[in-house]
Amino acid sequence: MIAGRYRLREAIGSGGMGQVWLAADDMLGRNVAVKEVTAPDSGHFATVRQSLREARSAASLNHPNVVQIHDILHTDRPWIVMEYVPSRSLYDVIVRDGPLSPRDAARVGLGMLAGLRAAHRGGIIHRDVKPQNVLVAHDGRVVLTDFGLAVREGGSGQAEALIGSPQYMAPERVRDGASTPATDMWSLGATLYATVEGRAPYQRETTPATLLALAGEPPDPMRRAGPLAPILLRLLERDPARRADADEVEQCLRPIAEGVPEPAERSPDEAALARLTRIQLAVASFVLAATATVAVLLAVGWS
């Protein structure tokens, strides 16, 4: 029992900063998720500060694609009480079920994008968008979670530039600690790439090798992305000024998610045949019109 109110039931997730429990809120009679924040003793103060930042960042947002924060507690360690979302992480989905189809990946991408837009409107940069921090609910809802590295837009994140997952970290964050909406958009692109390809675009055996590839190599070739490939490349633009923004991403993802077929590209022979058909139809229309005119004139003359 935590704080005389939250009764821990079972562990439902874990990560570098602690463990998440399914718990019962005995006061309100509902299930909640409780994050038990743990860290080595030497990092306890920083851990408390980070947990408070996570809670405050997420609590300031009210959006169906962002996990809701209910409470924060302190015993011998911090506890964050959150909305319980019956779900699996996107990472678990990819590992257990395999990569998603472009259409399903686009649907997940739209949910992530909606959550990021809400955060950015609130002046919050997530800074840790990756498959492990995306929940795919059993009812289909996509929820962005874990705001432990979030910062206010315009705030300084330089000292923590390399905290996070290098495979999903924008090049400018690695280079100079930049934290902008564009850095989150890069991470969105890397996450969607992994969703449809099964691996991150710069995934290597070691962190130094990943960072070296990120610094100067193009993303690994895509084999399964299909219609998603162009927007993924736009999101993975190395220059933030040239990177796709939220409006462009939504414009590209929505028709893919809704299954709208793309216009088929015609071969030269098909294009020539189509032009010939149009000419034939125009000639036929002219002949019919001329014939009708002559018939009218003859009828008038006979009358």
CA distance 7 to 9: 6
Helix axes 181-197, 246-257, angle to 10 degrees: 20
Quick check: 54 and 146 in contact, CB under 8 A? yes
CB hemisphere CA count around 188 (13 angstroms): 32
CB hemisphere CA count around 296 (13 angstroms): 6
Q: Which of 71, 97, 128, 247 is catalytic?
A: 128
The SS3 of residue 269 is: helix
Quick check: 2 and 18 in contact, CB under 8 A? no
CB atoms within 10 A of CB 302: 6
Regarding beta strands 69-74 and 78-83, do their DSSP bridges make them parallel or antiparallel, or are they unpaired?
antiparallel
Quick check: 36 and 51 in contact, CB under 8 A? no
CA distance 47 to 39: 7
Torsion of Cα atoms, 135 then 140 then 141 then 143, to 10°? 10
Q: What are phi and psi of 56, to 5 degrees?
A: -70, -40
What stretches of the chain show up as alpha helix (H) in DSSP?
44-59, 90-97, 102-121, 171-176, 181-197, 207-216, 229-235, 246-257, 268-302
Q: Is 104 a catalytic residue?
A: no
Enumerate the active-site residues.
128
